[in-house]
Amino acid sequence: MDRPLKTIWAVILAAGAGTRLAGAAGGVAKQYLEHRGAPLFWHSARTFSRVAGVRGLVFVFPQGDVAAMEKRVSQFFRSENLGLDWAVCAGGARRQDSVAHGLAALPPGCDGVLVHDSARPFVSARTITLLIDALHRGERAVVPAIQVPDTIKRAATDESGTEGVVQTLDRAELRAVQTPQAFATGLLREAHALASADGWDVTDDASMVERMAAHAPGAGIRVAIIPGEPGNIKITTAEDLKRLAEARATIPCVGWGYDVHRFGTEGDRPLVLGGVPVPGGPTIVAHSDGDVLLHALADAVLGTFGGGDIGTHFPDTDARFAGADSGVLLREILAMAEATGVRLVQADLTIITQIPKIAPHAGAIAVNAARLLGLPVDRVNVKATTEESLGFTGRKQGIKAVAVVSALREV
């Protein structure tokens, strides 16, 4: 039975000392390492912002860095507004202490939480979406995991100091677990309280829930698994640093989108452009919310990787998409683009209509479109024009929009 959660936040752990990597990284803690012009923790923040359902982020930094990092995160949000609430808090001596501090910083009413290591900057929106879907289905603890390809042996050292094999484990039963890990907030808080009371020392939060389940075998507590991704690696060793500088071919690509909607009568859908309601505008005849600009933008994004058109993915014959928020549909398409290696660079959007006047709303539309795309607002251009009373738009019968998106695709 589905039990949708109301409010889901992510805790991004960036409080580690990174001692194993310090020498190779020039003394820089790995969460602060730069990749494509941004520190690793911000790459994770961007990915979370592209997943519908994530409402906010808690960044956990070392105690001595909190003041400086709060200013830095604020600067990031000013230049690249992710459209999420956020908070910063100090970490603790151990990873589990940092998670506990992050849980304490969550807002009241947050009933779902994703805990993520910032040293995994390549996590995809798809993985996060699968985790959230599992929570909505009623799971209370979910982890992404991949099968272990190697034969794993348990070893021990004898009295002479020689290490030897004690047991060969069945790799068909083994999984390598990744982050983010998703939990019902109340369950994870209960697990942390039990860990603190009993003095547990664990390497991940799922381990706490596993121990909690062992303490209460009849409580129906379990840790579910969704498919992880081999590319969701953790930057831990000097060898891993090569992934940050890995040479890949990057090609420019362009997508073009066009959409039209007819004006309606009283009782049809209110006018929304780029996710921004336009008070006093004409109504729209549409199956979804009728956002002509976001529909054109979605088609343009699909064009950057040959993804077809919005009607293919979200047909107007499907009752599930009746009245659908076009911003949510666009985020789904952006996740598809990300999975193919597409990185958006610029968007140029044109609204073509006789009514209403678009100029008073253009700034708000640009800001919201930039938020949805994960771009700085100066890379999203919004303009409007009439057709000099010609055609159906000139006769005030409808509205249309054109979108052009520039992107880079890694192949």
Same domain, 160 and 271: no
Please state, as a whole number, how many other Cβ atoms lie within 10 Å of the Cβ of residue 179: 26
Report pLDDT for 341.
82
Can you tell me the distance from the alpha carbon of 129 to that of 54, in angstroms, rounded to the nearest whole number?
9
Can you tell me the distance from the alpha carbon of 207 to that of 146, in angstroms, rounded to the nearest whole number?
17
> Using CA atoms in the order 192, 194, 198, 202, what is the torsion angle rounded to 10 degrees?
-40
* Residue in 266, 298, 309, 308 with CA at minimum distance from that of residue 284: 266
Q: Tell me, yes or no, whether 182 lies in a domain.
A: yes
Q: Tell me, yes or no, whether 352 lies in a domain.
A: yes
Same domain, 204 and 262: no
Same domain, 240 and 255: no
Q: Determine phi and psi for 181, rounding to 5 degrees.
A: -115, 140
SS3 (DSSP) at 385: strand
Strands 163-168 and 112-117: unpaired
CATH number at residue 63: 3.90.550.10
Domain count, the chain: 2
Q: Tell me, yes or no, whether 390 lies in a domain.
A: yes
Token pair 């910032």 in the structure block, residue: 118
Token pair 């501090």 in the structure block, residue: 101
Same domain, 272 and 230: no
Contact 263, 282 (CB under 8 A): yes
DSSP output for 31-65: GG-EETTEEHHHHHHHHHHTSTTEEEEEEEE-GGG
Can you tell me the distance from the alpha carbon of 162 to that of 173, in angstroms, rounded to the nearest whole number?
28
Identity of the amino acid at 101: H
* pLDDT digits (tens), the chain, 411 positions: 456 788 999 999 999 865 555 444 445 677 888 877 788 999 999 999 989 889 999 999 999 999 999 999 999 888 788 889 999 999 999 999 999 999 999 999 999 999 999 999 999 999 999 999 999 999 999 999 999 888 999 899 988 889 999 999 888 889 999 999 999 999 999 999 999 999 999 989 999 999 998 877 777 889 999 999 998 999 887 777 777 766 456 889 999 999 999 999 988 999 999 999 999 899 999 989 999 999 999 999 999 999 899 998 998 888 888 889 999 999 999 988 887 889 999 999 999 999 999 999 999 999 999 999 989 999 999 999 999 999 999 999 999 999 999 999 876
Contact 57, 50 (CB under 8 A): no
